[in-house]
A and B are shown apart, each in its own frame.
Chain A
Amino acid sequence: MATVDLEGLGKSYQGGVRAVEGVDLSIADGEFIVLVGPSGCGKSTILRMIAGLETVSDGEVRIGGAVVNRLEPGERDIAMVFQNYALYPHMSVRANMAYGLKNQGTPKDEIARRIAEAARTLQLEAYLDRKPRQLSGGQRQRVAMGRAIVRDPKAFLFDEPLSNLDAKLRSELRTEIKSLHRRLGATFIYVTHDQVEAMSLADRIVLMNGGRIEQIGTPMDLYARPASRFVAEFIGTPPMNILPAESPAGRALAAGARLPAGTEWLGVRPEALAPARTGGLTGQAGLIEALGADMLVHLIAEGHDHPVVLRLHGAAEVREGERLTVAPEPGSLRAFDGEGRALAAAKTFAKRLGAQPRAVSCGRPAT
């Protein structure tokens, strides 16, 4: 277990393509860091540079304080779990787990002890003598995790480990990875494009965009205080509603709020919009997605082309075509400048007269 530090890390390919630029990141010992971003944002490249599978063009990678730029992957004392498992097909589960240890020259009884322990942790005891092809996808990924655990490495690297699994298994293994992290207390660096995985697993999320870090913070930080429009729209399903501040809809939304100077875009989370008697944004309920626990209403606001999505309680009584007036909860309005950077939060002064608690039905606005 160790800290991992990236300093001015950059990667450029032949032909001048810069995949990663100026990444500074300090990962504490035992921290669970998730690198997340759209495809091609450089998150996997960073992970592969930490692993040593990709050469470092600029900057430094330090594991446990020592610069590892020039070390082979095998000498860095890290373990990696791949998206397509990458198990050795001709070896049994036991041999797969033992291979790395054997190469390190670990004594046989020590290897056996560690494999037994890892197999118990991952419920793989019954499968130790099987070949990978005789296992299901979830079991294979468990074996890959076991192969990482037995090494007792300084850091665990995960490269989209759950992307090849179906939704149910994915959420099962997600909890398993989380509890594994808690039990081992090791440094985990995890790459995914799935923001739900990022939110549920991470101590801190590193959100990447175009080879640069967009924001680093706890999941709630990123969710509640996005540093930019990009973050606001990437994190959260459905994403944050963004409206131009100077449009009629934007003005209606910000009615009574004091916006920071230079505000060009307003953002508001779907669940921060609640029906209100007066003031706020008025529109017609369009598409309604009932998700059980809640319901997403696509509000066609006057003077705004994109529907504004609001999240209501699943039992709310809204019908398509109904007119609704909604207002943001105090302090929930985010302001962004012309380049998409976040400004200080807009202060909402609006008294939401007669605003009803969100959980209850929202009737027709009284007029």
Chain B
Amino acid sequence: MVENRPLATFVTHAVLIAGVVFLCFPVWMALVASTHGPEALSKAPIPLWFGDQGWQNYRDLLTTGLPEAGGVPVGLMMLNSLIMALGITIGKIAISLIAAYAIVYFRFPFRMGFFWMIFITLMLPVEVRILPTFDVITRLDMLNTYHGLIIPLIASATATFLFRQFFLTIPDELVEAARIDGAGPLKFFRDILLPLSRTNIAALFIILFIYGWNQYLWPLIVTTEENLYTVVMGIQRMANSGESLPVWHYIMGTAMLALIPPVVVVLAMQRLFVKGLVESEK
């Protein structure tokens, strides 16, 4: 349908642009705030344009340990977050791929039983099982370690279920052709199943990375040493400054920095992700 009504076009665009402004404004405010000094944000009018403290603020954040954030540079917190998010993402994908492979392609006793057990854990979020999990981690002496941060979050019923559904759509003949071509179970997994799951893996990577990056409650519980703090925890600590004035310019700067890795992941995986939606390869 081709329409040529200038007024309608103008109104649609105006509405859309208003929406964009509305959504982007908080991000803009954070970006602007991170370039001012500590006082600028505590008194009216709040600045809407960049200040001159930008370089100074970000240098402070990344290199020096701020007392407000527990004396650790934000750079280290970002690294901690990155290690945790990547560990969770890669671990979840690897484990659920293997679990789904076992459930779909192998006949073993109580196969469906195991599947339903995995499925039921979907209904138990981290918060519900946090006490027993904490107990286990304590007994295993994994407090204040990277694996303590990662391992309890590494199993994913959602991802297992998604991969299972995807594997079920792969025609049996493909498995049979591979068997005739002399591919054993591992070869089939590596040469056929993994490449075919590529787009699913990319989509899950985005979702799981953001999930891992945004973890707050679990790192808060298992880490007591400052040099294991994640960036999300850091922001929270800075905001909870108690008696003194919150250091808004640093908080906003940290928030901006914390945005970068998820954005990079989305941009990097987007092409693959969209490709997976557009083309059907089966």
Contacts and interface: CB of A to CB of B under 8 A. Distances in A.
Partners in one complex: yes
A73 B171 contact: no
Interface in A111-162: 133, 147
A104 B192 CA distance: 17
B281 A89 contact: yes
Interface stretch (A74-82, A184-192, A250-258): A74-82
Contacts of A91: 195
Contact of B183 (A87, A89, A103, A133): A103
B182 A82 contact: no
B196 A53 contact: no
Given A84-B173, A89-B281, A90-B281, A51 B182 contact: no
A267 to B, nearest CB: 39
A116 B179 CA distance: 24
Main secondary structure of the interface of B (DSSP, over half): helix
Nearest to B170: A89
A103 B180 contact: no
A140 to B, nearest CB: 12
B196 A75 contact: no
A86 B176 contact: yes
B180 A51 contact: yes
Contacts of B281: 89-90, 133
A89 B196 contact: yes
A86 B178 CA distance: 9
B139 interface: no
Given A86-B171, A86-B173, A90-B195, A103 B181 contact: yes
Determine the interface band of chain A, counting residues with CB < 8 A from chain B: 20 to 34
B21 interface: no
Interface in A57-80: 72-75, 78-80
A230 interface: no
Interface in A194-208: none
Contact of A86 (B174, B182, B191, B279): B174
Determine the interface band of chain B, counting residues with CB < 8 A from chain A: 20 to 34
Given A86-B171, A89-B282, A100 B180 contact: yes
A207 B90 CA distance: 54
B181 A74 contact: yes
Given A82-B173, A86-B176, A90-B195, A104 B282 contact: no
Contacts of B278: none
B176 A75 contact: no
Contacts of B171: 84, 86
B59 interface: no
Contacts of A85: 173
Contacts of A80: 176-177, 180
A53 B179 contact: yes
Q: Which of B181, B187, B192, B279 has the most CB of A within 10 A?
A: B181
Given A88-B192, A90-B281, A99-B191, A74 B176 contact: no
Contacts of A87: 177
Q: Which of B182, B184, B187, B191 has the most CB of A within 10 A?
A: B182
A181 to B, nearest CB: 19
B179 A74 contact: yes
B97 to A, nearest CB: 16
A100 B181 contact: yes
A120 B221 CA distance: 67
Interface in B166-213: 171, 173-174, 176-184, 187, 191-192, 195-196, 198
Q: What 9 A-B pairs have minimum CB-CB distances, sorted nearest first?
A: A74-B182, A100-B181, A86-B173, A103-B182, A86-B177, A89-B281, A90-B195, A73-B179, A82-B173
29 contacts: A73-B176, A74-B180, A79-B180, A80-B176, A80-B177, A82-B177, A83-B173, A84-B171, A86-B173, A86-B174, A86-B177, A87-B177, A88-B178, A89-B196, A89-B281, A90-B195, A90-B196, A90-B198, A90-B281, A91-B195, A99-B178, A99-B181, A99-B191, A100-B181, A103-B181, A103-B187, A104-B182, A133-B279, A147-B177
Given A86-B174, A90-B195, 7 more contacts: A52-B179, A74-B180, A84-B173, A86-B177, A88-B174, A99-B181, A103-B187
